Structure 1
Amino acid sequence: MTTLIRPEGPEPDDIRFSRRALATGTIGGLFFAGYAPAALAAQAAPIQTGDDGLTIEQTTVPAPDGFDLPIYVARPTGDGPHPVIIVVSEIFGVHEYIRDCCRRLAHQGYAAIAPAFFVRVEDPAPLSDMQRIQEIVGAASYEQVMGDISATLEWTSQQLWAKADKVGVTGWCWGGKVVWQACARFAVIDAGVAWYGRLAPAPTATPQQAAAGQPWPVDLADDLKCPVLGLYGENDRGIPLESVEAMRSALAAAGQTSSEIIVFPGAPHGFHADYRDSFRPEAAAEGWSKLLAFFGERLK
């Protein structure tokens, strides 16, 4: 098990291991059935959200590059229409934690849709090799990811159960950065909630790494087309508070007064991830409450 304290995965001195029996297999041939073994804590007792009253769908949508992009959909059963939330995973893809978050949102009246951004190369969910996972994630370029979101939005607009004029996006770690990027890219998105996504290059990033991560959220404040709520941890070793303050300054300079960043005292990176050692129940619950309030005000 790898203790993740950075959005894109660990550096060499971050890694430690423990043992746990893992769920394996696939769901409907599209998704790995269990929790990502690379980060699953030995003592984890993840939240398990049922699907009573929900309709669960696993299908594919045509991406701009011709790839059949797998998506996981959880929505309230019934005609709707329901406001939509695009759910962007961490580096492990659409494993059980991400699907559970979709079901949590669906129980709140949303149609939650999680695209599998990484599977063109390989599904990272069942893997334990962090180097291989990072290679897979690194192959998902900005334009590919934005294209996948565009394809998901287009497919959603054709669904009778979807309220296509009320769309949000949320994501964790790697997905938190994508939230900022998507809210700067797509005018159809009405609100975003970014969980501890990197805002600027890491202090140790090489010029090549900094260039590869563009566009960085700190450079996108002028381009945001909707309000974004950022949820960050004070003790996140991968996202220094200096970058959080830089993002706050960029938002203020751009006049983005409806966007906000909240820093949770003492919280590490990944504090919402209930299957990891980093899980902090109080901060996770408060963050989720703020997410629901933020989306509720703008999507319902």
Structure 2
Amino acid sequence: MTDTRTEHATLTDGRALHITYALPDRAVRGGIVVLHGAHGVTSTVRLLVDALAKEGWLAVAPHLYPGDEGAGDIDEATAREQISGLSGEAVLAAADVAFGWLGERGVRQDLLGVVGFELGGSVALVVAAGRDIGAAVSVSARGILEPLSDGLPALVDVAGDLRCPWLGLYGEREPGISVESVAKLREAAISAEAASDVVRLAPDQPDEDHGPAQEAWQRTLNWFDAHLR
């Protein structure tokens, strides 16, 4: 069984950050950095870290908000305040600590992946455009045409700089995300040298067991299977 833990991690070079992680109970296939959503490292984020570990990935979620020691589930007002303080430099620095933590445990750079949902999906694209890693997945990433904070870029402005294979997943009816904006993001990503794909997930169907959440999960696993090897 996997064991999800939260601790203050310090790298050999002195960089430090709170992280939540889970170790596979079999041979490590590679490392996945999980970027949390607006409400921090919630129980859902912990479940995702655990689920990736069960698939053989050494999974780690860096705590992106200053002073966040792992409570998660912060309220809406606090979430907005925390997001407003995020910058591209800060999220890349947090991701770098997570990558460094994985590297110190023997994970090669080409076997490093990143995945995020909503806010985390936006950050995942920023990381994919700024770091040489193996693969990235963004689910329901916000801030396509207008940035989520003054310090973060609009996604269409960085998608053309992708440095690793990137998968973007969106539902058919995403609140606050228009079909036109997703199409513009797809066009911007296509201009990058790295491979990319933007998929609109099928809506729920009556009497159907496999909905968009299950499809997103399977596509995420398939993307990492294909590119982290």
Scaled by the length of structure 1, the TM-score of the pair is 0.67
Which residue is 1:106 aligned to? Answer: 53
1:57 deviation in Å?
3.7
What SS does structure 2 have at the residue aligned with 1:72?
strand
Asked if residue 116 in structure 1 is aligned to residue 59 in structure 2, the reply is no
Tell me the equivalent position of 1:29: none
Q: Which of residues 177, 193, 201 is equivalent to 1:239?
A: 177
Q: Residue 285 of structure 1: which of 190, 211, 214 is its match? A: 214
How do residues 46-195 of structure 1 correspond to structure 2 at under 5 angstroms?
A: 52=1, 54-62=2-10, 68-78=16-26, 80-120=27-67, 125-128=72-75, 130-160=76-106, 162-187=107-132, 189-195=133-139
Equivalent pair of 1:124/1:136 in contact (CA under 8 Å): no
Higher Cα Rg, which structure: 1
Structure 1 residues 162-200: Cα deviation after superposition (integer angstroms, max 9, x where no partner) = 34430110000000001110001111x111110011252
- Offset from partner CA, 1:178-224 (integer Å, 9 cap, x none): 1110001111x11111001125234xxxxxx6771532221123311
Bigger drift between 282-291 and 136-145 goes to: 136-145
Match for residue 159 of structure 2? Answer: 221
For 1:149, the aligned partner's letter is A
CA distance in 2, matches of 1:261, 1:117: 25
User: Structure 1 stretches of 5 or more lacking a match?
Assistant: 1-51, 203-208, 268-279
Identity of aligned residues (%): 29
Q: What's the TM-score, normalizing by structure 2? A: 0.86
In structure 1, the residue corresponding to 2:37 is in which secondary structure?
coil
- Cα distance in 1 for residues equivalent to 2:225 and 2:59: 14
2:141 is aligned with 1:197: yes
Partner amino acid, structure 1, of 2:94: D
For the aligned residues, what is the CA RMSD? 2.5
Determine whether 1:299 maps to 2:213: no
In the TM superposition, residue 151 of structure 1 has moved relative to its aligned partner by 1.4
1:35 match: none
Find the aligned partners of 1:288 and 1:240 in 2 and give their Cα distance. Answer: 22
Is contact 1:235-1:265 (8 Å) kept? no
Q: Report if the CA contact (8 A) 1:105-1:111 is conserved.
A: yes
1:67–1:95: structure 2 CA closer, same or farther, 3 Å change rule? Answer: farther
The count of corresponding residues between Structure 1 and Structure 2 is 223
Runs of 5+ consecutive residues of structure 2 not aligned to the other structure: none
